[in-house]
Structure 1
Amino acid sequence: MSFNGLTTSHLIMLGLLLGFAIAHSGLAGLRPWGEKRLGARLYRVLFALVSLPLAVVLIVYFFNHRYDGWQLWQVQGVRGVQPAVWVLSAISFFFLYPATFNLLEIAAVTKPQVHLYETGIIRVTRHPQMVGQIIWCIAHTLWIGTSFTLVTSIGLILHHIFGVWHGDRRLASRYGDAFEAVKSRTSITPFLAILQGRQTFEWREFVRPSYLGVTGFILLLWWAHPLLIRVTASAGW
């Protein structure tokens, strides 16, 4: 089915994004309630069992339909665009990396907790995952240039913008004045608090094993990218 290039896959992707957003943000919002009844570890396992399969479906569907719809622009043959896309993609993962701060908690090996950080990348932006997702979307939308990729990127960005409000609200509810103090010394826009003198940049905080792990992951992803595309294509949906 197509209406002047607006394929059904556009609507399916929006539906998948909406479902993921409801499940992910909903379970995050229910965390205090769920942990009281199930315990922190079991609730983290439940969160993962719901969120991870939905994320895999999103990734596979995106790979398999990324060239659907209108070709809005074509810059893949333009000199310098491919390196720029890879550099932007790599930078996006360095903003996304705080999720790896507590791998044992993520895997529920140790008790998962809510942390109030004000170091490292949080000095640059209070919501690095949102910034990383926007950079990733810009890079991939630039490279692919289709209406499907643009729709996907808009959906992802809107979800993360909602996540900024939702995350701040949850932290304010949990930490009260302590979060408001952190909020006053940090910014959502990258480097804004530093430029305004409300925050300082401490480069030593970036010298840590987490960054080596992220660098290794970026290199592995660069090497495995063609393989991932071939594997997802075998899904047939």
Structure 2
Amino acid sequence: MIFAWWTPSHFIMLGLLIGFAIAHSGLAALRPWAEKRIGARLYRIVFALVSLPLAVVLIIYFINHRYEGWQLWQVQGVPGVESVVWVLSAISFLFLYPATFNLLEIAAIQKPQVHLYETGIIRVTRHPQMVGQIIWCIAHTLWLGTTFTLVTSVGLVLHHLFGVWHGDRRLTNRYGEAFTSVKDRTSIIPFLAIIQGKQTLKLQEFLRPAYLGVAVFVLLVWWSHPLFIQATGKVNW
């Protein structure tokens, strides 16, 4: 049959992605209302208790079903492809995790706040997590080449594109003209604001311990990747 490759796992992954998007973006939208009633720290804990388990389920399910569906291409034996995938993955982490710079706020040890940044990675793109997710999806879709991976990547990218609109909307409501000015001086497309002369890349802003932490994290992922895949394979999902 022509759609024999469209396995149930494709639908399940789409459902998981939609559920995660609703929970994650929905809680983000409720932040001003929730913080007034339960406080910033308790809100952060609730947000983490909802988002993290859903993210873990997504990761495990993706790893366990990544080779399902139609094999669109197979480049794993092509010289140099694995190196390209690892380089792209490392670059994606540099974009994905700038929010982890405020680790004490993420852990709710310090009072979590909404920050209006215009330095470091924000000079490159106003939405680094979206850019990082796209790079990660390109790398893994290239490596795996299955329809399941493609469906997962499309779902993740669409969620982050919605997050671009949603995030800008929430910051506009919160900061008004202050964010509008930042928006005018930054860009969604990487390096566009720099090319347009609205921003100047300052390399010294990247010389901070957090980037060293990201580099160490990438090395740990590279080292533990086979072990992680073996561990998730023991989960019967």
Separation in 2, partners of 1:159, 1:10: 16
Match of 2:185 in 1: 185
Quote the Cα distance in structure 2 between the aligned partners of 1:69 and 1:22: 26
Q: Structure 1 residue 101: deviation in Å?
A: 1.5
Stretches (4+) displaced over 3 A:
none
Provide structure 2 residue ranges, at least 5 long, that are not aligned to the other structure. none
8 A Cα contact 1:94 1:211, kept in partner: yes
Deviations 1:130-164 (A, max 9, x none): 00000000000000000000000000000000000
* Structure 1 unaligned spans of 5+: none
- What is the aligned-residue RMSD (CA, Å)? 0.8
For the pair 1:91 / 2:85, whether they are aligned, the reply is no
TM-score (norm 1): 0.99
Alignment of 1:1-237 (within 5 A): 3-237=3-237
Question: How far 1:97 moved relative to its partner?
Answer: 2.1
Partner SS, residue 97 of structure 2: helix
Q: Secondary structure at the match of 1:44?
A: helix
Amino acid at match of 1:164: V
Instruction: Spell out, residue by residue over 1:85-107, the C-alpha distance to the aligned partner (whole angstroms, 9 max, x if none).
Output: 00000000001121111100000
State how far apart, in whole Å, the 2-side matches of 1:97 and 1:113 are: 17
Q: C-alpha deviations, 1:22-80, integer Å up to 9, x for none?
A: 00000000000000111000000000000000000000000000000000000000111
Q: Which amino acid aligns with 2:216?
A: G
What is the CA deviation profile of residues 177-212 of structure 1, one whole-angstrom value per residue up to 9, with x for unaligned ones?
Answer: 000000000000000000000111000000000010
Quote the Cα distance in structure 1 between the aligned partners of 2:132 and 2:77: 25
Q: What is the TM-score normalised by the length of structure 2?
A: 0.99
1:31–1:43 contact (8 Å) kept in structure 2: yes
Q: Percent identity?
A: 77
Please give the alpha-carbon distance, in whole angstroms, between the structure 1 residues aligned to 2:192 and 2:156: 23
Deviation at 1:3, TM superposition (A): 4.1
Count matched residues: 236
